Amino acid sequence: MSKREQGFTLIELMIVVAIIAIIASIAIPNLLSARLNANESAAIATLKNISSAQAQCQASGIIDANSNGQGEYGFFGELSGRATVRGSTLRIQPPVLSSAFGNVAASRVTRSGYLFQMYLPDASQAGIAEDATGGYTGSSVDASGAETMWCCYAWPVSQGNSGKRTFFINQGGDVLATNGATSQYNGTTNANPAYGAAFAATGSNSMGASIAANTTGRDTNTWTVVQ
């Protein structure tokens, strides 16, 4: 048996390792980019599902804290059936949103690399977040305002790793996105988006103001409509 037939030479092994390194340098960034795109697409789809769930909740009239016959929008704990609805001992059954959204921590839900947070208005139309573990037991949410407005944000758990853009939706149904060029949101390290972040910078600081569709928001970021 010749020496050649006994195994690979050091040079041959080095060539194989070099080829593997080149392939990895090309494949790994592409895999990361694919994961980011998948997470962002999932966040957009989730916000649209939340919008549909809110419409069903409001139309059903099961949340009617002021007993005027007009349905109200809900928080994640209420929409998922995990918490009783405001002003009642009832739960939404069957829930209009997956029970996974009942897993609320620090008023947020984590899904596919993104954090989601819901806001409903108080009497001055400032945004109120739900209770830390879901639902709402306070008295600040304005029932009349909650009949017509709500908003929700989604931002990356880990900026650049689980996603890059931050998203927004409200009762209007349009999903807005920002790349956070001037004010970036990143998990729980940076402050989460304030309720008015995606509303027009020139408007009032309320949930009743116009959204910053293709313009600058109150957080100084540019928010664009996702097509």
- Give tens-digit pLDDT for 134-177: 999 999 999 999 999 999 999 999 998 999 999 999 999 999 99
Q: Which of 8-17, 41-50, 155-164 has the lowest mean pLDDT?
A: 8-17
pLDDT of residue 1: 46
Give me the chain's average pLDDT, please. Answer: 91
Cross-strand bridge partners of residue 178: 166
Segment 54-75 shows an average pLDDT of: 97
∠ CA 82-88-91 to the nearest 5 degrees?
A: 30
- Long-range contacts (CB closer than 8 Å, 24 or more residues apart) made by 221-224: 221/166, 221/178, 221/179, 221/180, 221/181, 221/182, 221/183, 221/197, 222/178, 222/181, 223/168, 223/176, 223/177, 223/178, 223/198, 224/176, 224/177, 224/178
Q: Which of 34-38, 45-49, 87-91, 217-221 has the lowest mean pLDDT?
A: 34-38
- Sole residue written with tokens 């390290």: 189
Q: pLDDT tier at 6 (50, 70, 90 boundaries)?
A: low
